């Protein structure tokens, strides 16, 4: 094995450097992974441009990247289900396994969670990374390393659709046609939703959503809430959505979700925007519109692998760009252009 462990290390705002770091040693229940592909997420770029997301502040150098696939290159003494050479996807959030959340399967809520590239935990945009064996998932032969990296944001969508209880024949409104919005569109469709309508401010993103199977797309730019609401209901044949999946974090979009969801329906808040937002709360109370939070995911990697490997969910239509680890900075700049759904870095 070479000693090369080039890594993308964020030192602070606008200060992302490629540096050599020591190749880590796996513990007894860990594996060393030769990283193959890392997808860039909006949060990686946010830490680079702003240095913080809410309470998570970059105070010391941190390796970025958390949407990761690779090949097992060394296993710890107690690892049972993996062997050297296995192709895997890495679920980035480790949890304590002991608290009530962990024990009841909602380990995404674990207060001890250690998630790749959420300060102060290092991420995986490196040649090599170690990871707990139970958060590594073997990739079936028919899935690529890019599929493996995409399992992370796809898991966000699977968790959101589960939280929203998206079911057969449901009318679904997805707000926002970024990576998370379009993955929610694909997930809702793959689990049998009826019509899915999607909104955005950008025609390019909406035309991709249309190609990916949206029944209707609505550009909300410059339109009043009433006009947007009327367009959504008209696109759904005069009916309101059962479930709204909010993937923008923008106030007008959250308000649209609350006022447009049918009485007794559900809104899932995926988008993270301002800390405080004014919303029509009485509308939610008196029409029993449930507003549900969603944070990352739990128990979604196996489902994502099953959906992809069986062909029930097809990611081949996502627009992509590719960079080498050495060109990480260019890749981050490209991600800011938002002209493709996913920018990948090959390590």
Residues near ligand NAD (CB under 6 A) are 42, 156, 175-181, 199-202, 205, 220, 247-250, 252-253, 270-272, 294-296, 338
Q: Which does 250 bind (CB under 5 to 8 A by kind): ligand NAD, Zn ion, none?
A: ligand NAD
Q: Which does 220 bind (CB under 5 to 8 A by kind): ligand NAD, Zn ion, none?
A: ligand NAD
CB of 25 to ligand NAD, least distance (A): 31
- Phi, psi for residue 70 in degrees, rounded to 5: -175, -165
Q: Which does 8 bind (CB under 5 to 8 A by kind): Zn ion, ligand NAD, none?
A: none
Q: Which does 295 bind (CB under 5 to 8 A by kind): ligand NAD, Zn ion, none?
A: ligand NAD
Q: Which does 96 bind (CB under 5 to 8 A by kind): ligand NAD, Zn ion, none?
A: Zn ion
Q: Which does 325 bind (CB under 5 to 8 A by kind): ligand NAD, Zn ion, none?
A: none
CB of 272 to ligand NAD, least distance (A): 4
Judged by beta carbon, residue 201 or residue 295, the one nearer Zn ion is 295
Q: Three-state secondary structure along the chain?
A: CCCCCEEEEEEECCEEEEEECCCCCCCCCEEEEEEEEEECCHHHHHHHHHCEECCEECCCCEECCCEEEEEEEEECCCCCCCCCCCEEEECCEECCCCCHHHHCCCHHHCCCCEECCCCCCCCCCECEEEEEHHHEEECCCCCCHHHHHHHHHHHHHHHHHHHCCCCCCCCEEEECCCHHHHHHHHHHHHCCCCCEEEEECCHHHHHHHHHCCCCEEEECCCCCHHHHHHHHHHHCCCCCCCEEEECCCCHHHHHHHHHHCCCCCEEEECCCCCCCCCCCHHHHHHCCCEEEECCCCCCCHHHHHHHHHCCCCCCCCCCEEEEEHHHHHHHHHHHHHCCCCEEEEEC
CB of 99 to Zn ion, least distance (A): 3
CB of 103 to Zn ion, least distance (A): 8
- Angle between helix 203-211 and helix 179-190 axes, rounded to 10 deg: 20
Judged by beta carbon, residue 32 or residue 173, the one nearer ligand NAD is 173
Judged by beta carbon, residue 91 or residue 246, the one nearer Zn ion is 91
Judged by beta carbon, residue 7 or residue 155, the one nearer ligand NAD is 155
CB of 292 to ligand NAD, least distance (A): 11
Judged by beta carbon, residue 190 or residue 256, the one nearer ligand NAD is 256
Footprint on this chain of Zn ion (rule: CB under 5 A)? 95-96, 99, 102, 110
Q: Quick one: 125 exposed, middle or buried, by C-beta within 10 A (0-12, 13-18, 19+)?
A: buried
Q: Which does 102 bind (CB under 5 to 8 A by kind): Zn ion, ligand NAD, none?
A: Zn ion
Judged by beta carbon, residue 72 or residue 173, the one nearer ligand NAD is 173
CB of 96 to Zn ion, least distance (A): 3
Position closest to Zn ion via CB: 110
CB of 6 to ligand NAD, least distance (A): 26
């Amino acid at each position: 094995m070479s000693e090369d462990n080039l890594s993308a290390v964020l030192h602070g705002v606008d200060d992302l450097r490629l540096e050599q770091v020591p190749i880590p040693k796996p513990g007894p229940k860990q594996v060393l992974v030769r990283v193959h592909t890392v997808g860039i997420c909006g949060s990686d770029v946010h830490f680079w441009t702003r240095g913080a997301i809410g309470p998570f502040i970059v105070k010391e150098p941190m390796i970025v990247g958390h949407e990761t696939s690779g090949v097992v290159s060394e296993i710890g003494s107690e690892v049972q289900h993996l062997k050297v050479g296995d192709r895997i996807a890495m679920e980035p959030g480790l949890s304590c396994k002991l608290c009530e959340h962990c024990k009841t399967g909602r380990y995404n809520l674990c207060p001890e969670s250690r998630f790749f590239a959420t300060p102060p935990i290092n991420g995986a945009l490196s040649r090599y990374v170690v990871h707990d064996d139970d958060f590594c998932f073997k990739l079936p032969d028919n899935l690529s390393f890019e599929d493996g990296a995409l399992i992370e944001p796809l898991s966000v969508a699977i968790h959101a659709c589960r939280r929203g209880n998206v079911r057969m024949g449901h009318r679904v409104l997805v707000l926002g046609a970024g990576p998370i919005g379009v993955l929610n569109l694909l997930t809702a469709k793959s689990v049998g939703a009826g019509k899915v309508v999607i909104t955005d401010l950008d025609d390019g993103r909406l035309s991709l959503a249309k190609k990916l199977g949206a029944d209707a797309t609505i550009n909300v730019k410059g339109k009043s809430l009433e006009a947007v609401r009327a367009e959504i209901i008209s696109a759904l044949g005069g009916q309101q959505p059962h479930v709204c999946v909010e993937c923008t974090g923008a106030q007008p979009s959250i308000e649209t979700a609350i006022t447009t969801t049918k009485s007794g329906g559900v809104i899932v808040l995926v988008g993270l925007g301002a800390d405080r937002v004014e919303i029509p709360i009485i509308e939610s109370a008196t029409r029993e519109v449930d507003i549900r939070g969603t944070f990352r995911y739990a128990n979604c990697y196996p489902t994502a692998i099953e959906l992809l490997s069986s062909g029930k969910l097809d990611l081949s239509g996502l627009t992509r760009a590719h960079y080498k680890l050495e060109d990480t900075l260019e890749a981050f700049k490209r991600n800011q252009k938002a002209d493709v759904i996913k920018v990948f870095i090959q390590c």
